[in-house]
Every structure is written in structure tokens, then in C-alpha cells.
Structure 1
Amino acid sequence: MEIKQNASAGTTESSDILIMLDPSETNGIQIDLNSSVEKQFGRQIRAKIRETLEKLDVTNVKVNAVDKGALDCTIEARTVAAVYRGAGEETIDWQVIHSWKL
């Protein structure tokens, strides 16, 4: 999926994550993470964001994530929502998303 415009999903409230996406001219996924639990879970948060983007075939994107202790399911849901918004899609096929092997 191609990110065509800036998009975001989530909040900076406790137990949530704000995912902001920017289209990128360079190949690859670049993730900038600001997290209150960076030392304990930073690597896992980045991996979940990257895994979700790869499942949606997003290849060129800059991600700015502000995490406040979100669970993996929240990270995934916020990333999916931001991708669909950035791609200009109006509906999310959640049945496809739920069929992923996590």
C-alpha cells in the first residue's frame, strides 16, 4: 500500500500510542520512537510497527511514534488505521487484518 499523504492515529494518553506517517522518497521504513518505556520495550515496539507495515506492503514511509505504554494490539491497530488514512482508503477490511498470523 502506498502512503500518499501525512496521516496519524492514536493519542498521547496513558496506554496508547500516536502513530504519525509521512510519505518518503527513500526506500525503506524509518521509525522514530519516543516512548516512556523505551529501555524495556523499544525494540519490541519498533518490531511491531515494522511487522504491521510490512504486512500491509508499505515500503516507503517515515514513522514518528509517541508511545505511552501501549499493548501490541493497540500498536498494531493504530498503525493499520494510520496506513489506511495515509493511503486514502475509506474502509479497513478488518477480517483480513484478523486473519494474520501474529
Structure 2
Amino acid sequence: MELKQIATAGTMESSDLMITLSPNETGLVIDLQSNVEKQFGQHIRALITEMLTKFDLTNVTVSAVDKGALDCTIKARTVVAIYRGLGKTDYDWKEINAWIA
């Protein structure tokens, strides 16, 4: 699949993640800003990549600003941004819940 448009999800509040996805033609690029990047940066990137892989998205530029988000929040925000970027409104909640749990 390919993103149709730039999409954002999340907030800049504590314990949240603001994520923006943009289509590109150069593969997956993740720009992460986080106060805990040294400790958890690799893990956060892996969670984002996992969700993008579920949708078979490979040509995406990701800009993520982490404010201490938990894994479930990172996954949920990424899925919302993906759906917005794809222009989809028909959510398969059973499948999504299986990914986020």
C-alpha cells in the first residue's frame, strides 16, 4: 500500500506521541525525537516499523516526537496516522486490537 496524504496523530502532552507520516519514494525513514531516545529509541522505532509493516507500507517518512508514551500508545497513534494517510474510515477493530494488545 501507499500513503495518499500526509497524516498526523497524537499530541505533545506528557505520556503521548505526536507522529506524522508522509509518503516518499526512498523507503522507510524514521526521525525520532525523545528524551529517552538513548534508552528506548530503538524499541520505539521497532514498534512504529511493526505497525507500518502490518499495512505493507515501505515508502514512508515518519516524524515522531515522543513524550514518554507507552507501547500501546505508540502503536495506537501509529495505526491512526496510517488510516488517516490511507484515507480509510472502515476500521477492522478486531484485527487492530490483535496488533495493539
> In structure 2, what residue type is equivalent to 1:11?
T
Query: Over residues 8-58 of structure 1, what are the superposed CA-to-partner deviations in whole Å (9 max), with x where a residue is unaligned?
Result: 0000100000010001122x2110000011111111000100011101111
Which residue is 2:31 aligned to? 32
> Which consecutive unaligned segments of at least 5 residues does structure 2 have?
none
Give 1 or 2: higher helix fraction.
2
| SS of the residue 2:50 aligns to | helix
In structure 2, distance between residues paired with 1:67 and 1:74: 10
Q: Which runs of 4+ in 1 moved over 2 A?
A: 99-102
Tell me the matched-pair count: 101
| Residue 53 (str. 1) matches residue 52 (str. 2) | yes
Which residue is 1:18 aligned to? 18
In structure 1, distance between residues paired with 2:91 and 2:38: 33
Contact 2:76 2:100 in 1 (8 A): no
CA RMSD of aligned residues (A): 1.4
> In structure 1, what residue type is equivalent to 2:22?
D
> Which consecutive unaligned segments of at least 5 residues does structure 1 have?
none
Which residue is 1:84 aligned to? 83
